[in-house]
């Protein structure tokens, strides 16, 4: 039944964006919010402590704490993205840069999941990352180098 706005009925809700539109929006949000550090191609900058997403970041989804880590890291938790946008970006970057490392039966992040975890930001992300790296190594997954927070001598 068509809505007749002139008769006082409300206009129909705008259709939900299709998968292609969401994918393009996620890529644009990644470029604007994440690529400044992680670069457009996801390679990061090891000398500056910025991890490479390629063939690595998906491993975090092997552990519930790792999955949550991706929401709670400072760059994600403090980003200007709303919860739905952050979920969309996380799904995009995982499937773009690290699909082979995703957990079997990977379920995409949801706005609700992001909203629940995001407020619990880490006081110090470095030991969390190192602990997850040890757990993942025991499962046979290698993460990209992560030197942030390490004492490095010139």
Q: Could you identify the residue written with the tokens 């604007």?
A: 32
pTM recorded for the entire structure? 0.80
The residue among 80 and 30 whose pLDDT is bigger is: 80
What pLDDT does 5 receive?
39
pLDDT tens, residue by residue, 105-139: 999 999 999 999 999 999 999 999 999 999 999 99
Retrieve residue 72's tokens: 């709670």
The DSSP bridge partners found for residue 45 are: 50
Retrieve residue 68's tokens: 């949550």
Confidence tier at 16 by pLDDT (50, 70, 90): low
User: Any idea which of 8-22, 32-46, 73-87 has the lowest mean pLDDT?
Assistant: 8-22
Q: Which residues are CB-contacts of 60 (< 8 A; sequence separation ≥ 6)?
A: 66, 67, 69, 70, 132, 136, 143
On the question of pLDDT at 154 being above 50, the answer is no
Average pLDDT, the chain: 83
Backbone CA torsion sign across 149, 77, 145, 128? positive
Average pLDDT over residues 90-99: 94
Average pLDDT over residues 63-67: 97
What pLDDT does 58 receive?
96
On whether the CB atoms of residues 68 and 105 are closer than 8 A, the answer is no
């Amino acid at each position: 039944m068509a809505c007749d706005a002139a008769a006082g009925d409300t206009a129909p809700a705008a259709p939900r964006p299709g998968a292609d539109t969401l994918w393009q929006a996620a890529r644009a949000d990644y470029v604007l919010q994440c690529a400044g550090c992680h670069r457009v191609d996801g390679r990061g900058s090891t000398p500056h402590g910025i991890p490479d997403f390629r063939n690595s970041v998906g491993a975090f989804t092997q552990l519930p704490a790792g999955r949550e880590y991706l929401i709670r890291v400072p760059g994600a938790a403090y980003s200007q993205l709303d919860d739905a946008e952050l979920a969309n970006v996380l799904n995009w970057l995982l499937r773009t840069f690290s699909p082979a490392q995703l957990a079997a039966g990977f379920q995409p992040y949801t706005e609700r999941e992001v909203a629940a975890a995001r407020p619990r930001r880490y006081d110090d992300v470095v030991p969390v990352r190192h602990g997850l790296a040890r757990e993942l190594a025991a499962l046979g997954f290698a993460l990209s180098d992560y030197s942030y927070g390490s004492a490095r001598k010139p």
